[in-house]
Structure 1
Amino acid sequence: MKERVFQPELLDTLPPNDPDAIRAREEMLQVNGIMGNHRWIERMVRRHREDGWRITELGAGDGALSLRLMEAGCCNAAALHAFDLAPRPELWPAEAHWTRGDVLAQALPDTEIVIANLFLHHFTTEQLRLLGSRLSPVTRLIIAAEPARYWIHTLSGRLFCELAELNHVQRHDMQASIRAGFRGDELREALALDSTWKTCVSSHPLGACRFMAWR
């Protein structure tokens, strides 16, 4: 699995109210719980943020991660901004910002922290370079948990799908995500972060490529 391979994910083709899509999103919470992505992102935000820093989540989905950070005291609702193609969730706070649309179509908000969970692997290297160019000058911290592209995770992913009886959408999309995932410094290079950024990358045994950049 030396090169990233892109294949359309089924969840992206289904309407938000499709029963298979609803189930797949519920199963993603289970997958995130196993991988520990939300817990890790919260720990990193707590450890590195400064008082008053604002947060943007890219690909926020149902808003669960952003709401977790808000409830944990990492920011207040007014300092929270989310991007997604999906509509604003019903439980999204009135004071928090929600942009429905393409993250590549506009400059990113002026927030000190940008987070992404299982989202950046959807983009090509060229698209990630564009995304990196649209980071706000005030952004100081980027935290992302993405699929780690190693063959062992394709096998463990198939086993987990069988044991957890996940639906066909999740089974397909998990494998597609791994094939489009990252290894080593690929994400830093794709975002074209300049020398002002320092980065740290680790591969979690349960399949996550954990990336953090700061300046």
Structure 2
Amino acid sequence: MWSVARTVHPEWLDTLPPDDPRAVRSRRDLRRINSSMLQTRIMAASLKRYCRQAPRTILDLGAGDGVFMLKIARRLASRWQGVSVILLDRQKIVSDETLGGFRKIGWGVETVVEDVFEFFQRNDLEAVDVIITNLFLHHFAQPELARLFALVAQRTDVLAGCEPRRAHLALAASHLVWAIGCNDVSRHDAVVSVHAGFKDGEMSASWPAMKGWELHEWPAMLFTHCFVARRQQNAEVRHDA
């Protein structure tokens, strides 16, 4: 078991303009990394297990180019129909092709370009049924993560996150992403991500101490650490605007 504490440092991709060639290449690398980590399969399985019914709305925090959420949607479209998706990211990088992919399977889609904390402080913000994160929560140190969780808990019934696992095997693998063609940005960020990743019950410990929630946290496959917070059926409803 790895005992080293979490360390959160800036990732190069977050500092580059969205149209920078190295950033464009790194986003392609991220798709390969997601595929290697089986993130789509893990997230889809988590949603099937912990969502009591088909959601009407899903919010993806740190959605990036939206491709990950589209792959999730395609996996779930046969059982979840007519879902509306919100893709939230600080950069405007979702292509028309990706947007069209959602519409092709009968899902609605909206993009929002905004900081996550500013988004949750909107006065007109409506609650959503499900919030997901993929390789996003590890960007936040514990105080920021706790603040984000407190905001999320007011606006949804289910939060599902798939994050890097902070473990020796994951760290070793992060040093080998060059083998799948990753550029310098992705090679740097992969290692930083593992050091900022999670293990044991670290995400659960950052969830607000409030009644009415059940928390689940577990390692998945070789490199992923999962977290789900689900509102209990008899709990007080979330706060719609």
* TM-score between the two structures when normalised by the length of structure 1: 0.89
1:1-215 superposed matches below 5 A: 1-49=3-51, 50-71=53-74, 72-73=76-77, 74-76=80-82, 79-87=84-92, 89-91=94-96, 92=99, 95-107=108-120, 109-135=126-152, 137=154, 139-159=156-176, 161-192=177-208, 194-215=210-231
**Is the contact made by 1:88 and 1:98 (CA closer than 8 Å) also made in structure 2?**
no
Distance 1:75 1:8, change over 3 A: farther
Higher mean C-alpha displacement, 13-22 vs 148-157: 148-157
Deviates more, 1:12-21 or 1:67-76: 67-76
What is the deviation of 1:123? 0.8
User: Which segment drifts farther, 143-152 or 49-58?
Assistant: 49-58
TM superposition score normalised by structure 2: 0.80
Q: Mark the structure with the bigger radius of gyration.
A: 2
Q: Provide closer, same or farther for how the CA distance between residues 83 and 68 of structure 1 changes in structure 2, counting only shifts above 3 A.
A: same
Amino acid of the structure 2 residue aligned with 1:172: H
Judged with a 3 Å threshold, the aligned counterparts in structure 2 of structure 1 residues 155 and 208 are, in CA distance, closer, same or farther, namely same
Count of equivalent residues: 213
Q: CA deviation at 1:213?
A: 1.7
1:115-170 deviation digits (Å, cap 9, x = unpaired): 000000001111112111212545221110101111232112213x2322321111
What RMSD over aligned residues (CA atoms) do the two structures have, in Å? 2.0
Q: Distance in 2 between matches of 1:198 and 1:56?
A: 20
Q: Percent identity?
A: 28
SS of 1:144's equivalent in the other structure is strand
Whether the aligned pair in 1 keeps the contact of 2:203 and 2:217 (CA below 8 Å) is no
Comparing 61-70 with 93-102, which one deviates more in the overlay? 93-102
- Which stretches in structure 1 are left out of the alignment for 5+ residues? none
Amino acid at match of 1:131: L
Unaligned runs of 5+ in 2: 232-241
